[in-house]
């Protein structure tokens, strides 16, 4: 099945089963804003818990914070967002559609990369076990020609971004013959910068009101609280502050479901270190974060690091963790070495000293910062994309969400075989016993086969069926989502069996 079709199915599945709804749907929706339904909110909470516990509980020197969305407007001047938080936009004059110029070029690069991968897949099939991929990459004329095209375009693109040369970005689009996917034409406007921050007003009277911004990242709330946390928590460098919260960006293009939203949620951690040690910490956090992703078991080959073409104004090193979505490798998380830029800027703009006295060096300095920043919503999409499976069975087929058990919205469904003979009561008793430990669902409607399918479709790792034998011997059938295997076990064993699979400890053991 084409990857775009899979993506469409994912979006439809998310709606059908109450994971994600378009915001304001009965009013025809609001662009790039989404609501999480009854199952979506559970999955989202579990993702946040996986992140929070791995950062704050497992690292003695990382603490949490929950700062306000509204902040003093000067903060965004100091951070550089008022002047420089913008994307280059370009319009197609025929379709009137708006695009990000950098994304159009990135997609062109991905196309060339795709051609290389196609050659390799073809050759792999042709040569079988004898295939030497490295040799093929180094010698095949078609691969080499495309590699040359890729490198030339990449170099030109990176230079244009770094020089902030908008004319050159447009020229690249023209030279590459990039067409608008809607009109198919090359009738482009000039490239302009577009600031992504939402502004609003605070204050009762028009005269007294001042412009404030909805935060475009949670990081600044951490920087401006650095002194508070360091002092009150008696934190010693190196240490980190973690925060989960909403962020807002007036994104130019928003057509990829929850991949790019105008209101979204970030999980960010700023790690404060001694100047000169930041690149070491950068490498360490790169590894830690990649392990966190890989522990979910979606296949190491589906993750990669991507170096930034252009470093942000504050960074001296930056890398993205990319996941292979149905629409290609895309960023899920950014890891940035932000130097002392933010704290120094806040020192300057606030007039307050933001220093750390290092007793080992017997000197004060502005700490350097390594940041890890991941979108909850992108992580959500990553999990749904990786988990969604259509399986052919002997007689029919099923859709199953293979969500890692600790993240699954519902952990177990308890199903009385029939609605009588005391079976529903036994089911309710089991739920009453387990509901404080696990999210349970009760279902007595339709045949048992249909009920299993419904639970597969929402990713429930366990179904527990109560039948007449249960009345005699207190045993039930437990069915496993992934293998569909069924086992007869005593009711008292359920807690242990389920806990072994759904506990976060299991994931942390691998992370």
By the rule CB under 6 A, 377 interacts with ligand ATP = yes
**DSSP run (H or E) holding 357:** strand 356-358
Between 378 and 411, CB nearer to ligand ATP = 378
State the residue number with the nearest CB to ligand ATP. Answer: 375
Kindly list the distances between the CA atom of residue 218 and the CA atoms of 121, 232, 258, in Å, as whole numbers in the listed order.
42, 21, 18
In Å, the largest CA–CA distance within the chain is: 80
Nearer to ligand ATP, 92 or 266 (CB): 266
Position 451 contacts ligand ATP (CB under 6 A): no
Q: Does 221 bind ligand ATP (CB under 6 A)?
A: no
x/- mask, ligand ATP, residues 315-334, rule CB under 6 A, reads ----------------xxxx
Helix axes 423-434, 494-502, angle to 10 degrees: 50
The stretch near ligand ATP (CB under 6 A) out of 371-379, 448-456, 462-470, 493-501 is 371-379
Among 54, 176, 266, 337, binds ligand ATP (CB under 6 A): 266
448 CB neighbour count, 10 Å cutoff:
17
Q: Which helix (H) or strand (E) holds 266?
A: strand 263-273
How far apart CA 111 and CA 335 sit, in angstroms, is 26
* 270 contacts ligand ATP (rule: CB under 6 A): no
Give yes or no for residue 53 binding ligand ATP (CB under 6 A): no
Kindly give the residue spans of alpha helices, DSSP state H, lying in 85-180: 101-127, 133-139, 141-163, 166-175
Stretch that binds ligand ATP, among 107-115, 184-192, 230-238, 372-380 (CB under 6 A): 372-380
Count the site residues for ligand ATP by CB under 6 A. 15
Among 264, 314, 325, 462, which residue interacts with ligand ATP (rule: CB under 6 A)?
A: 264
460 binds ligand ATP (CB under 6 A): no
Nearer CB in complex with ligand ATP: 281/325: 325
Q: Is 409 in the site for ligand ATP (CB under 6 A)?
A: no
Q: Are 337 and 282 in contact (CB under 8 A)?
A: yes
Selected range binding ligand ATP among 173-181, 257-265, 282-290, 392-400, rule: CB under 6 A:
257-265
As a whole number of angstroms, the distance between CA 402 and CA 455 comes to: 11
Distance CA 481, CA 456 (A): 6
162: three-class secondary structure by DSSP: helix
Interface residue list for ligand ATP (CB under 6 A): 249, 251, 260-261, 264, 266, 331-334, 373-375, 377-378
């Amino acid at each position: 099945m084409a990857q775009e079709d899979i993506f469409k199915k994912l979006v439809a599945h998310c709606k059908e089963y109450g994971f994600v709804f378009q915001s304001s749907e009965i009013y025809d929706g609001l662009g790039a804003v989404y609501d999480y339904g009854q199952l979506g909110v559970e999955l989202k909470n579990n993702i946040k818990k996986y992140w929070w516990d791995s950062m704050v509980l497992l690292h003695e020197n990382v603490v949490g914070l929950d700062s306000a969305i509204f902040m003093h407007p000067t903060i965004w001047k100091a951070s550089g967002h008022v002047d420089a938080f913008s994307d280059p936009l370009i319009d197609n004059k025929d379709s009137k559609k708006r695009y990000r110029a950098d994304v159009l070029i990135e997609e062109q690069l991905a196309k060339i990369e795709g051609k290389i991968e196609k050659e390799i897949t073809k050759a792999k099939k042709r040569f079988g076990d004898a295939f030497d991929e490295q040799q093929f990459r180094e010698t095949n004329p078609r691969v080499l020609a495309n590699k040359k095209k890729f490198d030339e375009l990449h170099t030109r693109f990176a230079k244009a971004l770094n020089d902030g040369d908008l004319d050159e970005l447009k020229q690249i689009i023209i030279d590459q013959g990039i067409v608008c996917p809607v009109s198919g034409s090359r009738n482009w406007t000039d490239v302009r910068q577009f600031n992504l921050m939402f502004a609003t007003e605070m204050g009762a009277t028009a005269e007294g009101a001042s412009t404030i911004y909805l935060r475009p990242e949670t990081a600044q709330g951490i920087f401006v609280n650095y002194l508070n946390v360091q002092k009150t928590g008696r934190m010693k460098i190196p240490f980190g502050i973690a925060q989960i919260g909403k962020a807002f960006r007036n994104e130019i293009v928003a057509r990829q479901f929850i991949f790019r939203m105008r209101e979204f949620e970030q999980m960010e951690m700023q790690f404060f270190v001694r100047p000169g040690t930041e690149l070491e910490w950068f490498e360490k956090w790169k590894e830690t974060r990649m392990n966190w992703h890989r522990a979910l078991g979606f296949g190491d080959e589906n993750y990669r690091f991507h170096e930034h073409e252009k470093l942000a104004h504050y960074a001296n090193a930056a890398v993205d963790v990319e996941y292979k979505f149905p629409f290609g490798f895309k960023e899920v998380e950014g890891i940035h070495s932000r130097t002392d830029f933010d704290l120094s800027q806040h020192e300057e703009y606030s007039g307050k000293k933001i220093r750390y006295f290092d007793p080992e060096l017997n000197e004060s300095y502005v700490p350097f910062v390594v940041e890890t920043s991941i979108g909850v919503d992108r992580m959500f999409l990553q999990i749904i994309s990786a988990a969604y499976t259509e399986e052919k069975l002997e007689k029919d087929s099923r859709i199953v969400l293979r969500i890692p058990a600790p993240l699954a919205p519902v952990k177990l469904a308890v199903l009385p075989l029939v609605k009588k003979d005391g079976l529903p009561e036994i089911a309710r008793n089991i739920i009453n016993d387990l509901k404080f430990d696990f999210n349970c669902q009760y279902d007595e409607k339709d045949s048992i086969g249909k009920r299993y399918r419904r639970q597969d479709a929402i990713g429930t790792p366990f179904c527990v069926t109560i039948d007449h034998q249960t009345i005699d011997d207190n045993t039930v059938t437990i069915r496993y989502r992934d293998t569909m295997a069924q086992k007869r076990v005593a009711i008292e064993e359920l807690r242990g069996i389920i806990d072994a699979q759904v506990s976060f400890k299991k994931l942390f053991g691998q992370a």
